[in-house]
Structure 1
């Protein structure tokens, strides 16, 4: 589990197709302490929970390797990742950690597309579009996770919704580089999904 509070920005050093292209092995550079990264640990990469299969240190940078499987490549923006792509990173929660965002599974539900970026004084407002299937779980003042970042929904209009990004978030995540037509990973609020499921069973 995660909170949607980014703790580092990583960079893909290498991406290697394996298993006849059904897997991509990624080596990601980061600033985490390598001694604290165990094989089998979970790290959210742009909101996608991936399992560490190796780690080490090169120069002054820690690296870790993860495998992105065919389903991940098909359902998320991982299909567009390449060497040099910057990723929002978050380590998995430990008992006693502060829950600063909201409960995030790290299982992206799909993709949202940026319809419009509005630059405001020190801030930015993004309007995004998603599918009807996912839009029904998005509510004004509710939570969404976009590329691994916990955000509050400002407005909802059918399949479009907007979020306002404060200066701190723009500076410590990759969101400052978002532009019109970019695709981002979307995870809807778990509570909204469970509430909808319960209402369907009545």
Structure 2
């Protein structure tokens, strides 16, 4: 589990195809790896990956075809910046919201405009994800925990304060860019509960 509070901006060093999957190597920037062991989890752009071949400032990860197809990782080129967060410990503060690192799908940036010192961003998501997004609820975008300001059909908006702009990869994002979206787990559980109460047979 993660919190959606980014700890460092890293960088993709290499991406090598291996039998349909990929071995990706990331430089971790300012992220300390002294407490990370082989097999631990690190969220990369909101995607939970297993850290392998650790060095003082980098790690490798094997990325499956499913993950490559469902997230933005498959389109990354060497040099691309990525948000990084180490897995949550039970003693850590929960500054954002509980994030699993299991991306639900892709959204797209459709508008960015200034609002005093902040920025207002609008995203578009598929209908299959839009149903789980609610005004004032939580959303995880590229690994960043954010509060939804408003929802309008397939569109939703968030506010980025200057700090968030500075310490995440949002500074490198542009209108039209794809982003990784993880909806709030509680919304999915609520839907599941409603299905059972309505007498629907759960899908197997």
Give the TM-score normalised by the residue count of structure 1.
0.94
Q: Secondary structure at the match of 2:123?
A: strand
How far, CA to CA, are the matches of 2:137 and 2:64 in structure 1?
A: 30
User: Separation in 2 of the partners of 1:12 and 1:144?
Assistant: 24
What SS is found at the alignment partner of 2:60?
strand
Work out which of the residue numbers 162, 171, 182 in structure 1 matches 2:166.
171
Partner of 2:17: 17
Q: Match for residue 33 of structure 1?
A: 32
Q: Report deviation, 1:32.
A: 2.7
Counterpart selection for 2:124 from 116, 129, 144: 129
Structure 1 residues 33-75: Cα deviation after superposition (integer angstroms, max 9, x where no partner): 3332211000000000000111113xxxx01111111000010
Structure 2: which 5+ residue stretches go unaligned? Answer: 198-204
Aligned to 2:3: 3
More strand by share: 1
Work out the CA distance in 2 between the residues paired with 1:35 and 1:178. 30
- What SS does the aligned partner of 1:176 have? helix
SS at match of 2:91: coil
Equivalent of residue 183 in structure 1, options 178, 181, 194: 178
Counterpart of 2:151? 156
Work out the number of aligned pairs and report it.
Answer: 196
The one-character-per-residue Cα deviations of 1:118-151 (angstroms, maximum 9, x if unpaired) are 1233221111110111100000000000000000
Write the distance in 1 (CA, Å) between the matches of 2:152 and 2:52. 42
Q: 1:78 — aligned with what?
A: 73
Q: Does 1:53 align with 2:52?
A: yes
Match of 2:202?
A: none
Match of residue 112, structure 1, among 107, 110, 114:
107
Are 1:66 and 2:65 an aligned pair? no
- Relative distance call for 1:177 and 1:120 in structure 2 (3 A) is farther
2-structure distance, mates of 1:34, 1:191:
31
Structure 1 residue corresponding to 2:140, chosen from 136, 141, 145: 145
